[in-house]
Amino acid sequence: MDIKEWMTPQEKQFFDDLDSEAENMLQGARAFRAIFDDFARLADHQSRIKNIEHRGAELVHHLYESLNRAFVPPLAKEDVSGLASTRDDVLDYINGAATRLAIYDIGRPTKAMVDFADLILKAAEQLRAGMTAVRDPRAKDAVMSCTIEVNRLENEADDLLVASLAEAFQSGDPMKVIKLKDIYEDLETVTDRCEDAANILEDIVVKGR
């Protein structure tokens, strides 16, 4: 049976709103990764990320309004609010990292920053795919595959944080260490929030929606 045949109009709109938020989060991850392909235009990239983050806040607000109006939402309220909140956190920390890059005037990005950006983009892509799959109750395996990959990427980010901080401390420049530590920790937190969102998707399919 096609998804359109079993979903009510209200349910379809609800999932469409969740999809829009997931897509906006992915756009934020792509915009952050683009910084390192054209670092000279950091201010332009930062401005774009800020706009995406604002759009994300609007989408979350709309989701909460829809949730409050829904007589019987297609997902548990705690799952919807959790997804909305954690994905909003992803954009908040991406925006925070981009802002730090600008105000800290680091000169040029480190390899670790590029590696973090790659991990974040991959995690966002998996969350986007997982959100698409969770609409279909037959796609449990696809959702679980996405969540497992996000968890793996988060573990990779944990290892990257340890290695990147160790390298930063070897520089012998206290101010540089402080700047890099702030940026790296923001970026690792992005992957933590991605994992939180993946865990909620996993809970949804385990509960059978």
**Tell me: the pLDDT tens digits for 6-26?**
455 556 777 888 899 999 999
Residue 159 exposed, middle or buried by CB count within 10 Å (0-12, 13-18, 19+): exposed
Mean predicted lDDT score pLDDT of the chain:
88
Contact residues for 74 (Cβ-Cβ < 8 A; gap 6+): 7, 10, 11, 14, 15, 209
Residue 107 in tokens: 């000169």
Average pLDDT over residues 140-161: 95
Question: Among 84, 75, 86, which residue's Cα sits nearest to residue 203?
Answer: 75
How many angstroms separate the Cα of 105 from the Cα of each of 48, 121, 128, 175? 18, 23, 32, 12
Task: Give yes or no for a contact between 91 and 28, defined as CB atoms under 8 angstroms apart.
Answer: yes
Q: Over 90: is that where the pLDDT of 184 sits?
A: yes
Mean pLDDT value across residues 78-96: 89
Cα dihedral angle (156, 55, 129, 185), rounded to 10 degrees?
10
Are the CB atoms for 73 and 80 separated by under 8 Å?
yes
Query: Which domains can be identified in the chain, with CATH numbers?
Result: 7-206 (1.20.58.220)
The runs of H, that is alpha helices, within the chain are: 3-6, 9-35, 42-69, 77-104, 111-134, 140-169, 174-206
| Residue located via tokens 């994300």 | 56
For 117: left if phi > 0, alpha if psi spans -120 to 50, otherwise beta; the answer is alpha
For residue 5, pLDDT beyond 50 = no
pLDDT 10s digits, 132-143: 888 777 788 999
